[in-house]
Amino acid sequence: MAGRKILLTILLLALLFGMSSSPDAALIDRGGGLIYDDTRNITWLQDANMAKSMGLSKDGLMTASEAMKWAEDLVYQGYADWRLPDARNPDGSIPKYGWEARTSEMGHLFFEELGNSATVNIFDPSGLKNSGPFLNLQPFRYWSSTKYHIPSDFWWYFNFGVGYQWDGLASAGSYAWAVRDGDSRPLNQSGTPNPPSYAPASAPSVIGIPETEVATVRDPSVSIFAYRGYWWRWFEGRWYRSSSYRGPWSYVRPETVPAALVELPPEYKKHLSQK
C-alpha cells in the first residue's frame, strides 16, 4: 500500500512538472545576445531586429538581397559565419507552404520552441503570443536564406505574426534575423587587443599571393589581406575583419576564419617588393 502511494506521488509530481514546463525549454540563453536551440543545434541572435538596433536600417525592413548581405557581413561575438534561417525541411527537401510549416528553422522556432499558433488569417498578426528569450521579434515577415526557385524574383519568408510560410517578391521589405550553426558562447573580452588604425594617404596597392585567391597590401608594416569582398587583418596572433581597409576591425574567432587565410604560405611577404 505504501509503495502504491509513493508511486502515485511520483506520477503526480511528474505530471505537474510536465504541465509547468516552458514551451521554450530547448532554448538556452548563452549570454552576450546568443540563444542556443539544442534541438536544431543552431544559435539565434537574441535581438531579432539587430539591423535596426545597430543603426543600419531605420526600421529593420530590407529586401531579400539586402538581408542576405547583412547576415553575411555580420561579425558578432567573434563569429563571422552568420546566415539567414533556412526555409527548407531538415532533410533539405523543398519548403512547405502555409500555416503548418513547422519543419523550417523559423517554423520550428515559432511553433515548437515558442509554442505559438497560426492565426489562419493573413490579416490577423496576433499569433506571436510568446517571444521567449528574444528581443524585438516583430509580428511580420522575416526573410529566409532560401530562394523560391532559380530563376525567380520570389523568396521564401516566414511571418511571425500569423505563423505562415510562403514566398514573396524579393524586392519587398521584410525583417532579417541571423542564425549560425552550432552552439555559440560569448567572447571573453579581456586581453583582446584592438588593431591600431591604418589610414594611408591613398588606397593601398595590393598584390595577389601566388597559388591563392588572397591579395595582400603592398606594405610590409601591416598584415592586411583582401579576400572575397572583405579585408582581413592579422594582428598579435588574432584575425580581424572589416568592409574597409581602414577598419573598424572586428575580431573573428579562429574557427570561422577562411582556410585560405589560415593556410597562407609563410613566405608570402617576399612578393611585396615585386613591381
Could you list the residue range(s) of the whole structural domain that residue 239 is in?
Answer: 206-271
Q: What is the pLDDT of residues 217-240, one digit of tens each?
A: 998 889 999 999 999 999 998 999
CA distance linking residue 92 with residue 238, whole number of Å: 35
Cis peptide before 151 (omega within 30 of 0): yes
Cell numbers 517554423: residue = 107
Residue 254 lies in a domain: yes
Query: Does one domain contain both 225 and 146?
Result: no
Kindly give the pairing relationship between strand 42-45 and strand 34-37.
antiparallel
For residue 70, the one-letter residue type is: W
The helix, strand and coil proportions of the chain, stated in percent and rounded to the nearest 5, come to: 20, 25, 55
User: Long-range pairs for 49-54 at CB < 8 Å and ≥24 separation?
Assistant: 49/136, 49/137, 49/138, 49/175, 49/177, 50/74, 50/76, 50/136, 50/177, 50/178, 51/175, 51/176, 52/136, 53/136
The confidence band for 21, taking pLDDT boundaries of 50, 70 and 90, is very low
Query: Does one domain contain both 51 and 123?
Result: yes
Query: Does one domain contain both 52 and 167?
Result: yes
Structurally, how many domains does the chain consist of? 2
Taking residues 150-162, report their average pLDDT. 91
The confidence band for 125, taking pLDDT boundaries of 50, 70 and 90, is very high
Most confident listed range (21-25, 61-65, 265-269)? 61-65
Query: Does one domain contain both 153 and 213?
Result: no
Q: What pLDDT, on the 0 to 100 scale, is given for residue 168? A: 95
Query: Would you say residue 16 has pLDDT above 50?
Result: no
Residue 154 lies in a domain: yes
Domain boundary residue, one of 137, 166, 181? 181
Query: Does one domain contain both 177 and 234?
Result: no
Residue 157 C-beta-side C-alpha neighbours within 13 Å: 28
Query: Does one domain contain both 260 and 174?
Result: no
pTM for the model: 0.83
Query: Would you say residue 86 has pLDDT above 50?
Result: yes
Residue 63 lies in a domain: yes
- For the ranges 16-30, 35-49, 223-237, the lowest mean pLDDT is seen at 16-30
Query: Does one domain contain both 59 and 162?
Result: yes
